Amino acid sequence: MSVRIGVVVFPGSNCDRDTTHALALAGAEPVELWHEQASLDGVAGVILPGGFAYGDYVRAGVIARFSPVMRSVAGFAADGGLVLGICNGFQVLAEAGLVPGAMLRNRGLRFLGRDVRIAVEHGDTPFTHLAGPRRPLRMPIAHGEGCFFADSETLDDLEANGRVLFRYVREDGTVAGEVDDPANPNGSLRAIAGVRNAAGNVAGLMPHPERASEGLLGSDDGFGLIRSFVESAAAAARAVAAARAGTAVEVATR
C-alpha cells in the first residue's frame, strides 16, 4: 500500500497540483488537505506547497499560519511528524516558528522565476537521503520574498548543528556570496536556501524540487528530494503500524 502524504491547499496555493503529481510519481498517495479542515486524515507526512497563501497579505505566510490546518500541522510536527515546506510553504513554516528564520524581500526587489543551483549540505536526513549523487542540484525558484534572514547567533547555531540543509551554489559547486552574486539571487544570508528544525523532522526550502521532478520539465534533480520525503514518511508509517501491532499483540497475550 502506498504511503499517504498530505498536501495542504490554502486559498492562493498554486503548486499543490505539481506537488501531488510529483508525489504520485514517487509512488505515494497524495491527499489534499483543505486549509479549513483541522484533521490531517491520518497522513504519514505533510507538504506545504508553494503559492501565495491568502494573497501573501501583510507578510508572506503569516495569515496561513493561523488557519485550522496549520494548528494541526504544528501538533503533527511536535509529535515528530515529517513536514516539508516548499517556497511559500517554507515562509508559512518560518512564520509559524516551526523552522528558524524569516524571509525578507529579495535584495534586488524583483520577483524572480528562474533556475538556481543548490548544494545538499547533509545527505543523511529524511529530506535528502535519496538526493542522488548529482551535485549541485538544479531546480527553479519563483518568489519575491526569499532572502533568508536570522541573527548571526542563530545562523552560527544552525551551521554548528547541521541544520542548514541547502545552500545556493555556483555552477562549479562553490558557495555563492550574499551580495551581487547571481548564484544567490535573493541575497540570502550565508547563501542559505533551506533549513530544518532542531528535532530534524521539519524542513523548508525556497527552490521547487517538485518542479524539477521529471526530465520533461528540464530537470529531475529535485525528484530525489521528493523521493526522500516519500520513503521517510513510508518508514514512519511502518514504524507506527508496527508499534500498533505490538500493542495489539500485547493486549492479546494478556
Partner 1 sequence: MSIEFRFAVNVTPKPGILDPQGRAVEGSLTHLGIEGVSGVRVGRRVELTVSADDEVLARATAERLASELLSNPLIEAYRVELLEATSSTTSEAQGAG
User: Helix, strand or coil for residue 118?
Assistant: strand
CB of 181 to partner 1, least distance (A): 15
Of the candidates 121, 145, 147, 208, the residue annotated as catalytic is 208
CB of 77 to partner 1, least distance (A): 19
Closer by beta carbon to partner 1, 186 or else 219 = 186
> Would you say 168 and 193 are in contact if contact means Cβ atoms under 8 Å apart?
yes
> Would you say 239 and 145 are in contact if contact means Cβ atoms under 8 Å apart?
no
Q: Tell me how far apart the alpha carbons of residues 89 and 187 are, in angstroms, rounded to a whole number.
A: 19
Of the candidates 95, 121, 145, 210, the residue annotated as catalytic is 210
Of the candidates 87, 95, 121, 143, the residue annotated as catalytic is 87
Active site residue 208: yes
Which residue in this structure is represented by grid cell 500493542? 247
Q: In one letter, which amino acid is 51?
A: G
Closer by beta carbon to partner 1, 130 or else 147 = 147
CB of 204 to partner 1, least distance (A): 15
For strand 147-149 and strand 164-168, is the pairing parallel, antiparallel, or unpaired?
unpaired
Output phi, psi for 198, to 5 deg. -65, -35
Which residue in this structure is represented by grid cell 531546480? 139
Closer by beta carbon to partner 1, 58 or else 243 = 58
Active site residue 15: no
CB of 196 to partner 1, least distance (A): 17
User: Helix, strand or coil for residue 44?
Assistant: coil
Closer by beta carbon to partner 1, 62 or else 217 = 62
The three cell numbers of residue 226 are 521528493
Residues forming contacts to partner 1 in the complex (CB under 8 A) are: 58-59, 62-63, 66, 95, 101-102, 104-109, 147, 149-151, 187
> Would you say 200 and 228 are in contact if contact means Cβ atoms under 8 Å apart?
no
Residues recognised as catalytic: 87, 208, 210
